[in-house]
Amino acid sequence: MTINKYEIMSIEKATEDINIYRMKPLGNKVEFKPGQFVFLHILDADGNTIIKKPYSIASSPSSAHLEFCIKMVSGVMTSKLANLKVGDKIGVEGPMGHFCYDGQTQVGLVAAGTGVAPMVSILRYVAEKKLGGSYTLVYSTKTKDSIIYKEEFARLEKLNPNIKIVITLTREESLEWKGEKGRISRELIQKYVMDSKNTDWWLCGLMEMIKSTREILIGMGCEVKRVRIEGWG
């Protein structure tokens, strides 16, 4: 498969251990559907691949640049990414994956941690196209300081009132937080998604969360074929 060359435009430290990378094409732009992923290639001085790893795209398909939300876990790939700076070149291979949005109008998105990246791509697309229907994201993270895309969530809800974003924190102890707390549960889903049985679902995050949420949805009467999953760990 072709490897497209991109240039790092910006690197934003979103949280203590998560960076947001934005990059622009140096030639052909990667065309993708919301929710898909690509392989990022770290290149040597001659443009050859040193190492590659898959990452979900967070930007909308209509964006001029690609955006990735990456947890810096001190692995081989992330240690290379940590050394990149604005202006450096990177290879992009793809897109790939069937975890993509295809125009459904009753949509439930469940994400934990950086699993929110493909959901942001989907919601950006829904917002800019002003699509009708119902689009609910239930996003789980540890504390209020680990929330990614907080300002973007507010912007998307304002752009399209059919978008609803629910954040639940699993380890927040501050009394300042007035939102939801605890792991994703049947009660939490029922509270915000009125007709979960007739909703199309996308789940992304650690496999433990994916499996438990999938069981909850199936137990609520949702058809297996309407639950799409993408996980790791």
Residues of the chain below pLDDT 50: none
pLDDT tens track for 194-215: 899 999 999 999 999 999 999 9
The amino acid present at 186, given as its one-letter code, is R
DSSP 31: P
Distance from C-alpha of 70 to C-alpha of 217, rounded to nearest angstrom: 28
Q: Which of 174, 9, 203 is nearest to 113 (CA)?
A: 203
Query: How many other C-beta atoms are found inside a 10 Å radius of the C-beta of residue 65?
Result: 15
Cβ(179)–Cβ(150) below 8 Å: no
Distances from the Cα of 103 to the Cα of 30, 99, 154, 229, angstroms: 20, 13, 22, 17
Res 233: pLDDT: 83
Cβ(36)–Cβ(92) below 8 Å: no
pTM above 0.95, yes or no: yes
pLDDT tens track for 149-181: 999 999 999 999 999 999 999 999 888 999 999
Q: Which residues contact 223 (CB under 8 A, 6 or more apart)?
A: none
Res 1: pLDDT: 75
Domains (ranges, CATH) in the chain? Answer: 3-95 (2.40.30.10), 106-232 (3.40.50.80)
